[in-house]
A and B are shown apart, each in its own frame.
Chain A
Amino acid sequence: DAMVIQNPRYQVTQFGKPVTLSCSQTLNHNVMYWYQQKSSQAPKLLFHYYDKDFNNEADTPDNFQSRRPNTSFCFLDIRSPGLGDAAMYLCATSREPGNSYEQYFGPGTRLTVT
């Protein structure tokens, strides 16, 4: 089945130690999104890629970076995680805008910062 895959599902990192979260998709979608979701809150969009074009949200901290080496993969890099970065990180994909407006979500990676 076509799907969005996130690895790992659970990640523990130390305060200030860089961490990378991975997302891959078999849907061949043009757009990939990264969301941060804290406990009992709605997902918050960090950034998205439309093909290779990177679109950062205005309030996304510089500590968060992303890479998309090809259509299938997208990475979220947190350069110096703080305790406040502990959250669920969700990856999502969609077809190019104007074609379908539905976003398909992966299962998420729960990040713990110690």
Chain B
Amino acid sequence: AQSVTQLGSHVSVSEGALVLLRCNYSSSVPPYLFWYVQYPNQGLQLLLKYTTGATLVKGINGFEAEFKKSETSFHLTKPSAHMSDAAEYFCAVTTIQGAQKLVFGQGTRLTINP
């Protein structure tokens, strides 16, 4: 079975500072990994995904994430935070085997300070 742990339920950074949201996964088979963003009273929007190939994945809104198998991590970064980045971020994992279900982490609320 797969699982996801997001370190830090709340992260606060200053506008213009580096954003780093941590995600570690557990999977007995090669994982497919996702980061979703959720703004208040909205659905989830895909930021980026890793399935196969290049381990550094670039997504929308300037975000990127690197799949590190040896560390079982898929941390999300953005070089310079913008006020509009304030939202809830979810890391999720699925695998090619079995039903195509997403297993979510508990989420990280990102706050941007002016």
Contacts and interface: CB of A to CB of B under 8 A. Distances in A.
11 contacts: A40-B109, A42-B105, A45-B101, A48-B101, A50-B99, A97-B99, A101-B100, A102-B49, A103-B46, A106-B43, A107-B43
A98 interface: yes
A41 B101 contact: no
B84 interface: no
Contacts, number: 56
A42 B105 CA distance: 7
A105 interface: yes
Contacts of B105: 42
Contact of A108 (B34, B41, B90): B41
Given A41-B106, A42-B107, A102-B49, A90 B100 contact: no
Contact of A42 (B45, B51, B106): B106
- Interface size band for B: 20 to 34
B104 to A, nearest CB: 4
Contacts of A45: 101-102
Contacts of B101: 45, 48
A100 B83 CA distance: 32
Interface in B85-114: 90, 94, 96, 99-102, 104-107, 109
Interface of B: 32, 34, 36, 41-46, 49, 51, 90, 94, 96, 99-102, 104-107, 109
Nearest to B43: A105
Interface in A3-42: 4, 6, 31, 40-42
Contacts of B46: 102-104
Contacts of A107: 42-43
